[in-house]
Amino acid sequence: MSTPRKLAAGNWKMNGTAAELSEVKTLLAEQAAPGCDVLLCPPATLIHRMAQAAEGSILKVGGQDCHARQSGAHTGDISAAMLKDAGASHVILGHSERRADHGESDEDVRAKAEAALAAGLVAVICVGETLEQRESGATLDIVAAQLGGSIPDDVSAGTLVVAYEPVWAIGTGKVPETAQIAEVHDFIRARLSSRFGEAGQGVALLYGGSVKPSNAAEIFAVENVNGALVGGASLKAADFGAIVAALSDA
């Protein structure tokens, strides 16, 4: 059975200018993270500079979205090949904020993921239910539909990461109970294993939504949680560094 590699990933969302690259320098100065990968996904404007700062270190850099096409008349969009060219190794796709703000469907996310794989990027595909969906008992159905619709057929453990981010836990300070995280992560693992076999067992599954230094160790102790996708707490080196250390120790 292939064991997923642990991954601590930070999503800076629409935060950060050149001044905030100092946080990356602090993180790199202090960070050794035996046994886990570390990824930061800044706004596209910072990818190249962050990748340069991270060169030769454990830190990998990723985008937060890409277009499904390689090039063309799509004003304001960025292709997967462009992210790769700027120094990215990963790209977050199907984040709930993009699904909500830009009306991205599972089909759109899948097309973007295919483009990411073709460009040689690791696709970090996000799934997760809203509060209304959870309260109506639809969580696993929603997650199943998102997994089925968003993930391309030709992925491997090295090219796919799945992040479970309950929408109601993002930026709210609310975190599901560990049993709720375990239920969804076990379900995702079973789905990936039945669709992709051995490869599905090796895909890293991240939990995302109000992960902080104070709750990281408890979340990382949950089976089938192989890391985190961290928003707010990834902006400060001290907080993100503590989360990376908790993952490394888990």
Per CB under 6 A, the segment of 51-59, 130-138, 153-161, 226-234 that binds ligand 13P is 226-234
| The binder of ligand 13P chosen from 7, 88, 211, 250 (CB under 6 A) | 211
| The binder of ligand 13P chosen from 35, 158, 171, 197 (CB under 6 A) | 171
Burial 84-109 (b: 16+ CB within 10 A, else e): bebbbbbbbbbbbbbbeeeebebebb
Joined together, the tokens standing for residue 246 give: 């908790």
Per CB under 6 A, the segment of 53-61, 153-161, 182-190, 225-233 that binds ligand 13P is 225-233
Q: Residue 181 or residue 230: which is nearer to ligand 13P going by CB?
A: 230
Under 8 Å between Cβ of 146 and 98:
no
Give the rounded distance of the alpha carbon of 68 from its chain centre. Answer: 18
Asked whether position 16 contacts ligand 13P by CB under 6 A, the answer is: no
Least Cβ distance, residue 1 to ligand 13P (angstroms)? 28
Q: Residue 66 or residue 199: which is nearer to ligand 13P going by CB?
A: 66
| Interface mask toward ligand 13P for 41-70; x: CB under 6 A | ------------------------------
Asked whether position 115 contacts ligand 13P by CB under 6 A, the answer is: no
Least Cβ distance, residue 45 to ligand 13P (angstroms)? 18
Asked whether position 78 contacts ligand 13P by CB under 6 A, the answer is: no
Asked whether position 38 contacts ligand 13P by CB under 6 A, the answer is: no
Site for ligand 13P in 79-108 (CB under 6 A): 95
132 is an active site residue:
no
At residue 61, the 3 state secondary structure works out as strand
Under 8 Å between Cβ of 240 and 234:
yes
165 is an active site residue:
yes
Residues contacting 35, CB < 8 A, separation 6+: 6, 248
| The binder of ligand 13P chosen from 65, 104, 165, 239 (CB under 6 A) | 165
Quick one: how many helices (H) and strands (E) in the chain?
Answer: 11, 8
Tell me how far apart the alpha carbons of residues 162 and 90 are, in angstroms, rounded to a whole number: 12
Rounded to 5 degrees, φ, ψ at 236 are -110, 130
Asked whether position 210 contacts ligand 13P by CB under 6 A, the answer is: yes
Asked whether position 205 contacts ligand 13P by CB under 6 A, the answer is: no
Asked whether position 181 contacts ligand 13P by CB under 6 A, the answer is: no
Under 8 Å between Cβ of 225 and 12:
no
Tell me how far apart the alpha carbons of residues 52 and 117 are, in angstroms, rounded to a whole number: 23
